[in-house]
Amino acid sequence: ATKDIVILVPGRLHPHAVGRIGDRFRLVRIDRADPALVDPALAGQVRGMAAMTGIDASFIDALPKLEIIANFGVGYDAVDARHAAKRGVMVTNTPDVLTEEVADTAIGLLINTVRELAKAENYLRAGRWEGEGAYPLTRATLRGRSVGIFGMGRIGQAIARRIEAFGLPVAYHNRRPVDGVAYAYHDTLKGLAEAVDTMISVAPGTAATEKAVNAEILAALGPDGVFVNIGRGSTVDEADLAAALKNGTIRAAGLDVFADEPRVPQALLDVDNATLLPHVGSASVHTRQAMADLVVDNLVGWFAEGRPISPVPETEAIARRG
Active-site residue set: 232, 261, 279
Distance CA 94, CA 142 (A): 31
* Interacting residues with ligand 8YV between 41 and 60 (CB under 6 A): 52
Chosen residue from 48, 73, 108, 254 binding ligand 8YV by CB under 6 A: 73
| 239 conformational bin, left if phi > 0, alpha if psi -120 to 50, beta if neither | alpha
Q: Residues 6 or more apart from 86 whose CB is under 8 A from it?
A: none
The answer to whether 81 contacts ligand 8YV (rule: CB under 6 A) is: no
CB-based burial of residue 25 (10 Å sphere; 0-12 exposed, 13-18 middle, 19+ buried)?
A: buried
Chosen residue from 113, 273, 282, 298 binding ligand 8YV by CB under 6 A: 282
Shortest distance, position 291 Cβ to ligand 8YV, whole Å? 7
Our CB check for ligand 8YV shows the closer of 73 and 254 to be: 73
Our CB check for ligand 8YV shows the closer of 48 and 75 to be: 75
Exposure string of 39-67, with b = 16+ CB inside 10 Å and e = fewer, is eeeebebbbbbbbbbebeeebbebbeebb
Among candidate residues 218, 262, 256, the one with its CA nearest the CA of residue 237: 218
Chosen residue from 10, 156, 233, 281 binding ligand 8YV by CB under 6 A: 281
Distances (CA, A) of 321 to 47, 50, 127, 305: 11, 19, 66, 12
The answer to whether 26 contacts ligand 8YV (rule: CB under 6 A) is: no
* Interacting residues with ligand 8YV between 83 and 122 (CB under 6 A): 98
Strand, helix or coil for residue 27: strand
The answer to whether 72 contacts ligand 8YV (rule: CB under 6 A) is: yes
Shortest distance, position 79 Cβ to ligand 8YV, whole Å? 11
8-state DSSP, 52:
S
The answer to whether 75 contacts ligand 8YV (rule: CB under 6 A) is: yes
* In the complex, residue closest to ligand 8YV by CB: 73
Our CB check for ligand 8YV shows the closer of 196 and 291 to be: 291
The answer to whether 254 contacts ligand 8YV (rule: CB under 6 A) is: no
Of 115-123, 160-168, 242-250, 277-285: span binding ligand 8YV (CB under 6 A): 277-285
8-state DSSP, 94:
-
Shortest distance, position 259 Cβ to ligand 8YV, whole Å? 13
Distance CA 292, CA 283 (A): 12
8-state DSSP, 236:
B
- Contact set with ligand 8YV (CB under 6 A): 52, 72-75, 98, 279, 281-282
